[in-house]
Amino acid sequence: MSDAALFDKIISHCKEYGFVFPSSDIYGGLAAVYDYGQNGAPLRNNLRQYWWQSMTQLHANIVGIDAAIFMHPKTWKASGHVDGFNDPMIDNKDSKKRYRADVLIEDHQEKIRQKIEKEIDKAAKRFGETFDADMYRSTNPRVMAYQAQIDHCDAVLKEGLETGNLGMIKELIESEGIVCPISGSKNWTEVRQFNLMYSTQMSAVESGEDQLYLRPETAQGIFVNFLNVQKTGRMKLPFGIAQTGKAFRNEIVARQFIMRMKEFEQMEMQFFCQPGTEMQWYNYWKELRLKWHMAMGIPASSYRYHDHVKLAHYANAAVDIEFDFPFGFKEVEGIHSRTDFDLGRHEEFSGKKLRYFDPEKNESYVPYVVETSIGLDRLFLLTLCNAYCEEEIDGDTRVVLKLHPALAPVKAAILPLVKKDELPELAEEIYQKLRLDFPCYIEDKDSIGKRYRRMDAIGTPFCITVDHDSLNDRSVTLRYRDSMKQERVSIDSLHSLLSQATAMSSLLKELI
């Protein structure tokens, strides 16, 4: 199966099994906005919980807060978002479609890259076993010309964005002959900067004074609360503040399902430390965050680090953790050493001192910050992409989500073998007991095989089948999702069995 076909299957699976629906589906959906369904919402909650507990329970010096989405307008001036949180936009006058100019160029570069790969494939077939692809890349005139074209696009785009010379970017689009994918024309407007923040008004009456923004990142809610938390929590450096919550960005290019959304959730932690120690903490968090991902049972080969070559003006180090999605390696999390930029700017704009009195040094200073920032929705997508499996069994295809039991939306399904002979009553008794501690499901419709398959498809790690013997010996058949192995266990042992396998601690203990 091609990667594109696999990704399409995952998207359909999400809708068919109640994980993710397009927002306002009955009205035709809303671009880049999604709703989580009856299985998606609990899976997402479990992922959030795993992150939250790993931050606030496993670190005595990290506390969690929940700041409001609306913030004082000056926040976004201070953070630099009002002036600098922009994407370069271009419209096609014929199709009236709007595009991100950098994405148009990147897509164009991708097409050239594909031409290079075709040339190399052709040559490999021609030359056979002795073929050296690297050598061919660096010597074949046609491939070299394609590569030079890609590099030229990179250089012009970079210079145009860095210097604010958007005219250069438009000229590049024209000189490269980039056409609108809808109209096929080259009838482009000028390139303009477009701010990604959504704005609204505090009061019913519109005035420039009370313009608010929907936060584009949760981090600023932490910075403005730095002193509140430090003082009331008597926090000593180094310490962290964690938060999860919604963020909003007017992303023009909605792509790859829930990968890039207009309304999404972030899980961010700002770690405040003494200036000069930030690289030590940056390396600590870089390593620990990857370990956190892998504790979910995801192989190391699915991840890679991508160090930022060009740093934001406030950062002195930054790295992305990328996951190998069906559409290639893409960022899921960023670790940024943000220096004292944010607190310093908020000092300047608020007129309030945002300093830490260091009793050992007997001086006050603005702490440095190392941030870890992960998108919950991207994490959700990553989890599904990793878990989705199709297996051939006796000429039939079984679709199974191999989710870690601590993350699975339903922990156990209780299934009476038949809908009679008091089996449903015993199943109900087991269900009533287990549901106090575990999200469980009970069902007596259809054949047992069909019910197993439905549970496999939503990632339920255990199926508990109640049969006629159960009435006599108070034991049941426990079926394991991944191996499909079945064993006989007593009803009394079910609770402790589920406890051990599905507790969040089974994930957390990997981190200590």
- Applying CB under 6 A, the residues found at the interface with ligand GAP are 217, 219, 249, 251, 260-261, 264, 266, 268, 331-334, 371, 373-375, 377-378
When the beta carbons of 191 and 374 are compared against ligand GAP, the nearer one is 374
Are the beta carbons of 394 and 294 closer than 8 angstroms? no
CA 44, distance to chain mean position in Å, is 11
Nearer to ligand GAP, 331 or 482 (CB): 331
Cβ-closest position to ligand GAP: 375
| Euclidean distance between CA atoms 113 and 117, whole angstroms | 6
Q: Is 453 left (phi over 0), alpha (psi -120 to 50) or beta?
A: alpha
Count the Cβ atoms, other than its own, within 10 Å of residue 149: 15
Contacts 24+ apart (CB under 8 A), 466-475: 466/414, 466/415, 466/416, 466/417, 466/423, 466/426, 466/427, 466/430, 467/417, 467/423, 468/417, 468/421, 468/423, 470/423, 470/426, 471/421, 471/422, 471/423, 471/426
Nearest distance from C-beta of residue 214 to ligand GAP, angstroms = 13
Residue whose CB is less far from ligand GAP, 382 or 463: 382
Q: What is the C-alpha R_g of the chain?
A: 27
Residue 46 CB contacts under 8 Å (≥ 6 apart), including other chains = 406, 407, 408, 409, 504
Smallest gap from Cβ 32 to ligand GAP, in A, equals 8
Q: Which is nearer to ligand GAP, 161 or 466 (CB)?
A: 161
* Closest distance of CB 342 from ligand GAP, Å: 9
Q: Are 442 and 451 in contact (CB under 8 A)?
A: no
- Cβ proximity to ligand GAP: between 46 and 218 the closer is 218
Least Å distance, CB 261 to ligand GAP, is: 4
Cis before 238 (ω within 30): yes
Rounded least distance, CB 281 to ligand GAP, Å: 16
Rounded least distance, CB 435 to ligand GAP, Å:
33
Residue of 470, 471, 465, 430 lying closest to 451 (CA atoms) = 465
Identity of the residue, 245 or 459, whose beta carbon is nearer to ligand GAP in the bound complex? 245
Q: Are 316 and 280 in contact (CB under 8 A)?
A: no
Return the half-sphere exposure (C-beta side, CA atoms, 13 A cut-off) of residue 92: 17
* C-beta of 248 vs 452, nearer to ligand GAP: 248
At 454, list the tokens.
């439905």
We find the least distance from the C-beta atom of residue 232 to ligand GAP, in angstroms, to be: 24
The distance of closest approach from Cβ of residue 318 to ligand GAP in the complex, given in angstroms and rounded to an integer, is 9
Residues in the chain, total: 512
Q: What is the DSSP string of 57-90?
A: TT-TTEEEE---SB--HHHHHHHTHHHH-EEEEE
The residues near 310 (Cβ < 8 Å, ≥ 6 apart) are 158
CA distance 241 to 179: 47
Residue 341 vs 441, nearer CB to ligand GAP: 341
Question: Residue 59 Cβ, how far from ligand GAP at the closest point, in Å?
Answer: 19
How many other CB atoms are there within 10 angstroms of residue 321's CB atom?
20
Report in angstroms how near the CB of residue 334 gets to ligand GAP at its nearest: 4
DSSP code of 354?
-
- CA 344 from chain centre, in angstroms, equals 29
Characterize the bridge pairing of strands 475-480 and 486-490.
antiparallel
